[in-house]
Structure 1
C-alpha cells in the first residue's frame, strides 16, 4: 500500500476500476459483479474507484453492496463529481447509454458548482451506502462546455473546503487528457490526479511533463486505461483503442510490442500493467474487472516479474519514450 502524497489515504498498487460494474459496453450480472469484487479483495486489492456516470449510478450501488460486509477502514473508496443524475429519461429496456447498457430512466447534468459538488457527494454516499468517501475526483472537467474553468473556479475550492472539514481525505481530478491535469498539479493543492489512457505502452504523453511535475511537487498519480480499452489486452483485428476501432498502424505497433514481451517470457498484459510503476509518481493502476476470472488475471499479471532488458529492448526499438 502507498499513501497518496500529502494525505493519509492509502491505495493498493492494483485498484479496482468499477466502470465495468455499471455495465460498460455490455451487461454484467449481479453475481459476476460481486464475484469480481470478492476475488479482487482476496488478491489484496484495497482501492476501489467508481463514479455516478458509470451506469447512471449502477456502479456505485453495486460496489457499495459488494463491499458492505467489510470493515470500512480496511479499504479506500473514490468517486467523482461533475455529473449529477436527474430523474427522467426515455426509460424502456436496457440500451447503450453513453457507453453503458442500462435503462435510461435518468439523465446526466453537468454541474461543477460548489452546490453541485456537495449534492453529488451526498447522492454518492447514499448510493454507496457508506458514511464517507476517501478520494473525490473532478470528473472529465475538460469535457464540460466552458473547458473546465468552472471546475477550477468553483468545484475545486469546494473540494478543498470538504477536505479541510474532514469530509473527504484526498481530492484531485480525473481526465483522459494530460494538459488539463497539469493545471491541477501546478495551480492547485490537489493530492492526486487520475490520468486515463495517457501513460501506457502505446501512449506515454503523461511521462513527458505531467508525471515529472507531479513528482517534483509532491503529488500522486493514479493511472487508468493501461490496456487502452482493449488493444493492449488482446491485439487483434477489431480490437479497440480508446473505445474506438484501432487503426492498422496502432494494431501493428501493439503486435510488435507483444512479440518482444513474449520473447522475454512475459505476457503483454503483464507488461502493460507493470509499465506505469516504472515512474515513482505513480501510486496505483486502475483496472476494469467484470468477473472473478478478470480480477484473478489482473492480480496475476501485476505480480509477474518483468526483466529490465525487456524495457531496454522496447526503447531501443523506438516503442517506448526514453
Structure 2
C-alpha cells in the first residue's frame, strides 16, 4: 500500500487507503465493541495505517473505540486524525431519570443522547475540543486535525479555529492541520488563505461528481498541499447502482442512476466492480494522498482493501471517456 507525506516538507504520512471510523461510532445502527475492534484489527492487517474519527461520530464513541484499538500499537507506526468544531455538552439529568434515554439517530448515530453538540469554532473551543479528544483517545498527540463542517461558520473558522490549530501544530500537540467538508468552495479558501497541510473533501471528487476538479484540486496541486477524499461511493449509488439507491444521503435522481448503471456496465466488461473503479478514481489525481472509506466490520474492511489492491486497466478509463461518462476534465491522468 502506498504511503504519502502530507503537504510539502511535512512529517505526517498517510496510506492510500484510510479507515473512516464513523461506522464504529454506531452510524445508523449499533456495532458491538468486539465488532469495532475486529474492524480496526482487519484494517491493520490489510496495511492501513491512517485512521480518521471525530467527536461528532457517536458522541465520542468512535474516538473511544478507535483509541482503545490502537493504544497497544507503536505510536509512530500509524496516523490518526480527528476534528474540531463541535463540542459535546452533557444533557442535564441524563441517566438519572427513569426509563431509557432518547437516541441520537436524529444526527445519524444509534447511541444514547447523553450529550448534545454545540458548534464552536472559537480558539478556546478548539483547545477544549482537542483536550477532550485526547482524553477519549487515550493519546498525548494527534497527527491530523480538521476543522469540521464550518459551512455556516466560515469567518470564525478561518480567523479563530485555524490560528488555534496553527499554534497547536507549532507546539507539537498536532502534526498536520486542515479542514474537512462536503463542499469545495470553502476548502479552496482554506488552501488559498492559510498554511493548511491537507483538506478532507467528501463526495465532491467521485465518478459522478467532478466538482473538486474546477478549483480545489488544481489549487492543492499548485500549492503542494494534499487532499484526502471521502464519500467515494456518494453514500451508496456507486457501491450498488440501482433505482432507489441513495446518493448523498437522499434518493438518487433517475439521471444519476442511469449514469451509474452505464458506468457499471463498462467496468464489468473489464471484470471490475464499479465500487473498485469508484475507489481508485480519486487516487489518479496527483494531489490526492488518500481515499477514506467508512467501514463498520472486518468484512467491509477486507473488501475495501481487496478493491484497493485490484489492478484497473487504462482501457477502462478510456472507455468511460469514450462513452461520455467521464469528461476529459473528469479523468485525471
Q: Given the two structures, how large is their TM-score scaled by the length of structure 2?
A: 0.93
Q: Is the 8 A contact 2:141 2:172 kept in 1?
A: no
Whether 2:6 is the aligned partner of 1:4: answer: yes
Query: What SS does structure 1 have at the residue aligned with 2:56?
Result: coil
Judged with a 3 Å threshold, the aligned counterparts in structure 2 of structure 1 residues 95 and 189 are, in CA distance, closer, same or farther, namely: closer
Cα distance in structure 2, aligned partners of 1:308 and 1:284:
20
After TM superposition, list the pairs within 5 Å mapping 1:33-182 onto structure 2. Answer: 33-88=36-91, 92-142=101-151, 144=152, 147-182=153-188
Report the equivalent of 1:282: 288
1:264 alignment partner, one of 265, 270, 275? 270
Aligned-residue offset at 1:95: 4.5
Residue 311 of structure 1, CA deviation: 0.8
Listed one character per residue, the Cα deviations across residues 53-89 of structure 1 (whole Å, up to 9, x for unaligned) are 1111111011111112211111000000000000006
Please say if residues 90 and 104 of structure 1, whose CA atoms lie closer than 8 Å, have aligned partners that are also in contact: no
Q: Are residues 1:202 and 2:208 paired?
A: yes
Distance 2:70 2:41 in 1: 8
Output the TM-score relative to the length of structure 1.
0.97
Q: Specify every segment of 5 or more residues in structure 2 that has no aligned partner in the other structure, as ranges.
A: 95-100, 329-333
Displaced runs of 4+ in structure 1, greater than 4 A? none
- Following superposition, the deviation at residue 94 of structure 1 comes to 3.5
CA shift, 1:34, in A, is 0.8
Q: Distance in 2 between matches of 1:213 and 1:187?
A: 11
SS of residue matched to 1:302:
helix
Structure-2 change in CA distance of 1:265 and 1:90 (3 Å): farther
Measure how far apart 1:90 and its partner are: 8.6
Say if 1:53 and 1:83, in contact at 8 Å, map to a contact too.
yes
* C-alpha deviation, 1:213, in angstroms: 1.1
Deviation at 1:97, TM superposition (A): 3.2
Structure 1: stretches of 5+ with no match in the other structure: none
Worse overlay, 272-281 or 22-31: 22-31
Residue 241 of structure 2: which of 235, 244, 266 is its match?
Answer: 235
Is contact 1:97-1:104 (8 Å) kept?
A: no
Aligned partner of 1:187 among 185, 193, 196: 193
Alpha-carbon distance in structure 2 between the residues aligned to 1:89 and 1:45: 40
Q: Given the alignment of the two structures, is residue 254 of structure 1 paired with residue 260 of structure 2, yes or no?
A: yes
Q: Is the 8 A contact 1:113 1:155 kept in 2?
A: yes
- Give how far 1:93 is off: 4.8
Find the partner of 2:314 among 296, 305, 308.
308
Determine if contact 2:202/2:231 at 8 Å carries over to the other structure: yes
Alpha-carbon shift at residue 292 of structure 1 (Å): 0.6
